[in-house]
A and B are shown apart, each in its own frame.
Chain A
């Protein structure tokens, strides 16, 4: 009966979202009067999950699972859910979890709600609040099936500490073959990804050309932030598509989003709206972004950004 949460790791270490989905699973388990079981796949050290309310860990370690594969991972989670007699499975909104969740839903005959931002109102009606219309609205939905899957939005529920000591059980599921084979993974190392970043620094067409991105990268470095860009910038080929954030690009749910030289088209704002605090730097006081931002600086980015970098360096030096 326990709530099952899939706590993702990378190279043996938990991703931050693992603790957020564990916190969410604990809230659901409390409503249902049950416990939380976490499933880990090739994680090294799992005891930290106890801090977020996990009572039991099903620990899978198998070199056949070194490479993420949606169908195989969905099958492993299904086996764990069946073993635990789970009624609610909690996953994150990472690219991998969003890939596997629909496969798992069919496998478990479970209804699935994605982009969920709050715990269900009650365990009996199981109404969840999720974002829809690319963050322009919320949708309240019931999940009507016996087994339910909740995909939790990043940075929405937050981390909640709930001390428990997690009992660890080794779990050896069967690992079926499947028809999609990973040939290569091309991943930037040593840079913060937009998906994981707490702070995102984003540049728009106001920066006039790709040669001016040095200050954006420097600002990002000072803040430990990821860099991103608006759609026109990626369409013009100034920056790679992987940096494009907005409705047809990547969603951003950071703690702090800094938009530089971005006017704030409705499609852009929709994509970054889930970020908690938004700062805009733009020379045009009429730019729509000022209506969506928490803090704004009306000024020339080429003057403001270098000054801001200096101020932040001073701040970091004082608070180091």
Chain B
């Protein structure tokens, strides 16, 4: 089985979010970048397929040279080959198009992406990629088994879960549940050393017109101070929720 894992290069979950250039660009100053958490769950599941079902695992990112340390980390975790499409990620559709261009000739049976990135939260790349490739697609995927060309996946739905059967080639949008938090791997020294020797292929982009354009960013209004209520005066809390906040 040949697996491609799509890796988004995103600010660490604890990053302070600021903007620059007249609030049109994310301010990367002092920001630590990581593998998008939803993608990392998928990458870890891919490692399971590699170890138990002899799958090969490529990782791919659409981005400039600054994203290479993130790809190297994925190699250190155990991916075999990394691919970087050398263009900045402008919008979801353009990224999906670049990924589809690499994937279509790659002979991949399974493409694992995260359900969404934690920066733009568009949640559209996996579905668009599947549709562009004509592959089956399951998102919010919390469990995946592959047997030959058949796959069984569990999707989280509002208020429960749904089990589906499908066939390869398949694209999934993964999230926590594909593997547990405790299954995530921290690269060890051997992995890091090996990753330096593994291929990181830079591919030039194809023409892909973006469909949406960022005009600007804005931070939410700073929050007013919390109103503290004494634990001995909970009638007041009920009163505030009813008469002031009007939520009960």
Chain A positions near chain B (C-beta within 8 angstroms): 70-71, 94-96, 98-103, 105-107, 110-115, 127, 129, 131-145, 178-188, 191, 193-196, 198-199, 223, 231, 235, 241-242, 244, 247-249, 255-256, 266-267, 270, 273, 276-277, 279-280, 290-300, 303-304, 307-308, 311-312, 315, 319
Contacts and interface: CB of A to CB of B under 8 A. Distances in A.
B56 to A, nearest CB: 23
Interface centre among B125, B142, B165 (most CB of A within 10 A): B165
A94 B155 CA distance: 13
Interface in B137-162: 137-140, 142, 152, 155-162
Interface stretch (B43-51, B71-79, B195-203, B227-235): B227-235
A297 to B, nearest CB: 5
B211 A279 contact: no
Contacts of B238: 308, 311-312, 315
A137 B218 contact: yes
Interface of B: 11, 13-14, 17, 19, 37-38, 91-93, 96, 118-128, 130-132, 136-140, 142, 152, 155-167, 175-177, 180-182, 210-220, 223-224, 226-231, 234-235, 237-238, 240-242, 245, 247-248
Contacts of A138: 217-220
A218 to B, nearest CB: 15
B159 A196 contact: yes
Given A241-B176, A248-B38, A196 B237 contact: no
Contact of B247 (A182, A247, A256): A256
Contacts of A290: 226, 228
Given A105-B93, A133-B119, A242-B161, A144 B211 contact: yes
A241 B217 contact: no
B223 A291 contact: yes
Q: Dominant SS at the A interface? A: mixed
Contacts of A111: 91, 93, 211-212
A315 B226 CA distance: 23
B212 to A, nearest CB: 5
A25 to B, nearest CB: 19
Contacts of B218: 129, 137-138, 140
A279 B231 contact: no
B159 A132 contact: no
B163 A295 contact: no
A180 B131 contact: no
A113 B93 CA distance: 10
Contact of A279 (B13, B139, B177, B241): B241
